[in-house]
Amino acid sequence: MKYVFFSLLAIVLTLLNSCIDGEEEVFIKADGSARVKAVYRVPGIIFSAEDAEELRTNITEEVEKEKHLKLLTNTVEKENGTRVITIELETDNMMELEGALAAHTLGVKPSKADKMLHAIMGNITVNLKGFSADFTREVDLAPLLEGQLGKSGAAMLGESEFRYTVHLSSAVDESNAHSVEDGGRTLKWRYRLSECGQKPIVLHMVAPIPLPWWVYALVIVAALLLGWGAYALIKKLKVFKKRLETSSTGA
C-alpha cells in the first residue's frame, strides 16, 4: 500500500513538473493599439473539464465588460491529459488597460476558474513619466498555487515557468526584463513557478507613449491650419502695406 501511494505521488509530481506552463506575447504598435496571445498548460488532474468550460465563459464575460478589449481567441483543449488554454486579445489603446480584468465580481464567491483568470491576468498600472508611459504588471500566483497544491506546493513545480515577451515599436527607456533584444524593442521575462509562491511576478517597463493614429492626424491638421493661417495673415499684411504705400504716394 505504501509503495502504491509513493508511486502515485511520484506520478503526480512528474505531471506537475512537466505540464504547468505559460507563455504570453504582446505586440504594441506605434498607434497605441496592441495584440496579446497567451497560452497556458495545466494538468487535467487539477483542472477538470467543468473548470475549463467555466474559465472560457468567465473570459468571454469579463472581456465584454472592457470597452477597449476585443476577444479574438478563447479555447481550452485537452492534449495528452493537459488542458491547453489559449487566449488572444486586442485593444485599441494600451493606455486604457489599467486595472483591466483585475477585480473579482463583488458579492460573488470566486470559483477555481475565476481565481485562475484573475491570478494570471494580474494587475496593470499605467503612469505618465514625461513623454513616456510607465507600465507595471504584477501577477501574484501564490494564493492560486497554495489553493491548488497546498502551502508548499509551489516548490514541487520544478522547471515549470511562465514566460512573457513584449514587442515595442520603438526602443524601451528602462525595464526589469531578463533580456532585451532587437535594439531595445523586444523584452523578455522568465519566471519559475517554484519561486512564485514566495514573491509575485513583476513586469515593468518605461517606453515612449504609444499614441492612437488620430492624434497624429490632429497634429497634421493643426499644422496645416497654422500654415494656412500664417499664409493668409502674411498676404493680408502685404495688401495693407501696399495700400499704405499707395496712400503715401498720393499725398
Question: Other C-beta atoms within 10 Å of 155: how many?
Answer: 15
Task: Compute the average pLDDT of residues 67-76.
Answer: 92
State yes or no: pLDDT of 59 exceeds 80: yes
Tens of pLDDT, residue by residue over 220-245, are 565 666 666 666 667 666 766 676 66
State yes or no: pLDDT of 92 exceeds 80: yes
The CA-atom distances, in angstroms, between 118 and each of 112, 150, 169, 192, 202 are 10, 19, 28, 19, 15
**From CA 122, how far away is CA 119, in angstroms rounded?**
5
Out of 38-47, 77-86, 100-109, 133-142, which region has the weakest mean confidence (pLDDT)? 100-109
Question: What is this structure's pTM?
Answer: 0.75
**From CA 34, how far away is CA 5, in angstroms rounded?**
49
Tens of pLDDT, residue by residue over 151-194, are 666 666 777 899 999 999 999 999 999 999 999 999 999 999 88
